[in-house]
């Protein structure tokens, strides 16, 4: 399999020094889960305000990403985009400069599958394994340790990391070679975006006929239309509660990744194109920092015109 290397242990134990880079909304929650589980954690962050809560909770702060690699045979990344991952891995004082052969990097960022494959090949040249392991479950899931993770890479490496990853994931599914994790994450984002469009249209239809959308939602939750999106995001759309959560600009980024991945593979997606267009309108209109469920509010506005 792509990126497989010798020297991977059967499992990383509680005595493993674990590194974490990317201490934003998701990463900080995941890193706190590792600390609560008793792992010796090394973190790297450029901003003091990102690192200090973890240092106060018991983590050690490294001066550079390379220092994290020197200290830790297992390092997690949770970064914003392809460029950020590449910079952390291969930029000046990047992680790759410190990693020893046999180390594993687990990238929980959501980026392009093609980028993960390229990064994997570069790391494999120095005996390091990369797993692409994007996550789903939002800020609450990161903080409570109940994320779902779809992992691409060698099966031996996935099993070696499973115990550590279980501190912040309730579901860890090996979905194939490097890049497969990102592909499945794109599938997830395409599916939930399409579902939200359907839920938002249903709310707009109910309102147009004078039907209480909350009553409509309760009826639908008892039948074949029941879904996570209807249960969670439907209520947010009805209530107009768009405190993030998962920001609209990030969902737009994810859908753009999905559309580019589809283009490379020759697939012509339909619903995802419309969802990305509407999210772009939402973000360009100054609402990119709202929860992405605000997409439903835009649908309501258009329905009322």
For the chain, give every domain's residue range: 17-177, 184-303
DSSP per residue over 165-192, as a string?
HTTTEEEEEEEESTTHHHHHHHHHHHHH
CATH for 17-177 (3.40.50.720, 3.30.110.30, 3.90.110.10, 3.40.50.1220): 3.40.50.720
> Cα–Cα distance between 221 and 302 in angstroms, integer?
25
**Tally of residues, the chain:** 305
DSSP secondary structure of 201-238:
HHHHHHHHTT--HHHHHHHHHTSTT--HIIIIIHHHHH
Total-model pTM: 0.92
Q: Which pLDDT score, from 0 to 100, does residue 41 have?
A: 97
- What pLDDT, in 10s, does the model give residues 203-260? 999 999 999 999 999 999 999 999 999 999 999 999 999 998 889 999 999 999 999 9
* pLDDT band (50, 70, 90) for residue 4: very low
Q: Is 170 marked active-site?
A: no
Q: Which of 170, 185, 243, 253 is labelled catalytic?
A: 185
> Topology of 184-303 in CATH?
1.10.1040
Same fold, 17-177 and 184-303: no
């Amino acid at each position: 399999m792509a990126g497989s290397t010798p020297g991977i242990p059967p499992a990383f134990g509680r005595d493993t020094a674990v590194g974490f880079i990317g201490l934003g909304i998701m990463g900080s929650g995941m890193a706190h889960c590792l600390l609560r589980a008793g792992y010796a954690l090394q973190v790297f962050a450029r901003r003091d305000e990102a690192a200090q809560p973890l240092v106060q909770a018991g983590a050690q702060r490294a001066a550079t990403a390379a220092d994290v690699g020197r200290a830790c045979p297992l390092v997690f990344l949770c970064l914003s985009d392809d460029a950020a991952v590449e910079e952390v891995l291969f930029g000046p004082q990047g992680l790759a400069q410190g990693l020893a052969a046999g180390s594993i990097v687990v990238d929980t960022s959501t980026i392009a599958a093609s980028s993960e494959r390229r990064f994997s090949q570069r790391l494999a040249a120095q005996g390091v394994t990369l797993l692409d392991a994007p996550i789903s479950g939002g800020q609450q899931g990161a903080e409570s340790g109940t994320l779902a993770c779809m992992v691409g890479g060698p099966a031996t490496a996935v099993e070696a990391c499973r115990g550590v990853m279980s501190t912040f994931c309730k579901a860890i599914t090996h979905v194939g070679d490097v890049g497969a994790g990102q592909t499945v994450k794109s599938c997830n984002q395409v599916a939930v975006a399409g579902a939200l469009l359907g839920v938002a249209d249903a709310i707009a239809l109910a309102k147009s006929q004078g039907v209480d959308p909350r009553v409509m939602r309760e009826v639908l939750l008892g039948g074949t239309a029941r879904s996570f999106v209807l249960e969670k995001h439907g209520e947010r759309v009805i209530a107009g509660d768009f405190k993030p959560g998962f920001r609209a600009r990030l969902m737009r980024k994810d859908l753009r990744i999905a559309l580019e991945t589809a283009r490379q593979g020759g697939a012509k997606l339909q619903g995802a194109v419309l969802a990305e267009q509407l999210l772009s309108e939402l973000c360009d209109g100054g609402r990119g920092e709202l929860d992405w469920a605000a997409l439903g509010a835009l649908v309501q506005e258009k329905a009322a015109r």
